[in-house]
Structure 1
């Protein structure tokens, strides 16, 4: 375990190199408005399956480029149009089942929340567990998908920050950082929680990233 100064140097290296959320990578300009929040939900759904993160990001971007960036447009698209967009993004292993649940999820979101995830946020009343449970009512969104959404949305829904899901904590452990969320939060500045969590996840998913950051911090 590094001392506090060494940990802060390592965290700076991590953020400088990999402090980019998956929403940013996908081209989602995340704001507290219905369209980007819905796009984040779609991305979280795709990221939660057993497929490379880069493929999930590409598939989400392909869906949005094909005009399916709102729940209404997702629902109005045909099943085949969804399949084709997912395939264009390289998301072929689960394309048919995913196309179905994206349509079902859009319908449920429209029926229950008028297509606006801010209403789900209001119903959760600032309680992360309540919001996680509500997210998991969406077709195909399990605990992992809900955790990804919360991890990314904390940049705009700041009542949930700092939030580090188990995958982010795994990345912290690989980097030799504390596993305790409060201690990790003390190593970053205000507003960096979402980027920090995403960077930790990248370290968890790729051992080479952790090694690169640790070597840079040591040098």
Structure 2
């Protein structure tokens, strides 16, 4: 007689061998963790519950690496052709990055060695704040620089005019024509002193009558629109395209709505030295900082005036 798992007595003959359980197939794709329920159905309960046997089984599995362990991969590294193809796909990105790095170096050199803040060296208390005095000083400076006169002489005259407090609308309004001529002469602005004295008088009248003594009212009247700002600034007598461009180059530092801007002559210089003509891209590289954009525009102007294009062009 044979005792079954339930403990009942079977009437089957002892001489008949019990059929062997089918061998479990080993998965080659997934390693399965063995548990108590994974034993063969015909394995005696005592054997399954025997801690010593379980320990031996675990030791054997660890020694052999497990029935489901995979053989070492025979996969070969990519072929040379594949590697070359991958390299070719990456090269354009690297070239673009290198080109951008070169442009950044050129921008930094232009700003560091040739750029400056608006109204640098002039007696303006808050040159980076949109005060009435700062804006009037920017207009006067642009007017003097736009005339066909040497850059250094225009700067010298601007310094003298600001020293005379003509960027204060009250002082400018009260100064006589003769007073203005004298100040311009002291600044070396002899060739255009009479005509410019008249323009300064007209400027005072416009600012007082149309903008209540404060050019910030021009910004409001223009509804903060760059194109409209340019139109209204051009109403100043003696203000042509060059003067408007020079004003916007500097004023973007205090009126950010004007940014980004670079006057057309400085933009030509940017193209000559390898910075290109995409103003928005240059502005992005500067972190969209209007003050830095103003310094770049002024730097490019000085590069042109000092004929230093090759120095910037060969910067890498």
- TM (norm. structure 1) is 0.91
- TM (norm. structure 2) is 0.65
Matches within 5 A, 1:82-101: 82-101=180-199
Task: Give the Å deviation of 1:73.
Answer: 1.1
Task: Give the Å deviation of 1:183.
Answer: 2.3
Which runs of no fewer than 5 residues in structure 1 stay unpaired?
none
Equivalent-residue separation in structure 2 for 1:210 and 1:27 (angstroms)? 31
Match of 2:255 in 1: 157
Of 296, 301, 309 in structure 2, the residue corresponding to residue 196 of structure 1 is 296
Count of residue pairs brought into register by the alignment = 216
2:109 paired with 1:13? yes
Of 106, 121, 124 in structure 1, the residue corresponding to residue 222 of structure 2 is 124
Equivalent-residue separation in structure 2 for 1:67 and 1:126 (angstroms)? 28
Match of 1:206 in 2: 306
Equivalent-residue separation in structure 1 for 2:303 and 2:115 (angstroms)? 11
Secondary structure of 1:186's counterpart equals helix
Task: Please give the root-mean-square deviation of Cα atoms over the aligned residues, in Å.
Answer: 1.8
Equivalent-residue separation in structure 2 for 1:15 and 1:62 (angstroms)? 26
Cα distance 1:199–1:27, how it changes in 2: closer, same or farther (>3 A)?
Answer: farther
Secondary structure of 2:262's counterpart equals coil
Equivalent-residue separation in structure 2 for 1:155 and 1:205 (angstroms)? 22
Task: Give the Å deviation of 1:34.
Answer: 0.4
Task: Give the Å deviation of 1:45.
Answer: 0.7
1:124-182 deviation per Cα after TM superposition (whole angstroms, max 9, x unaligned) = 11211111110111111112111111110111111111111202201202212111212
Equivalent-residue separation in structure 2 for 1:87 and 1:174 (angstroms)? 37
Equivalent-residue separation in structure 2 for 1:118 and 1:67 (angstroms)? 19
Equivalent-residue separation in structure 1 for 2:136 and 2:237 (angstroms)? 14
Secondary structure of 1:3's counterpart equals helix
Of 144, 165, 170 in structure 2, the residue corresponding to residue 67 of structure 1 is 165
Is the CA contact 1:71–1:106 (under 8 Å) kept in the aligned structure 2? yes
Is the CA contact 2:122–2:163 (under 8 Å) kept in the aligned structure 1? no
1:56-107 deviation per Cα after TM superposition (whole angstroms, max 9, x unaligned) = 1211211121232222211211111111111111111111000011011111
Of 44, 61, 65 in structure 1, the residue corresponding to residue 142 of structure 2 is 44
Equivalent-residue separation in structure 2 for 1:150 and 1:14 (angstroms)? 19
2:245 paired with 1:147? yes
Equivalent-residue separation in structure 2 for 1:189 and 1:24 (angstroms)? 23
> Larger radius of gyration, structure 1 or 2?
2
Which runs of no fewer than 5 residues in structure 2 stay unpaired?
1-97
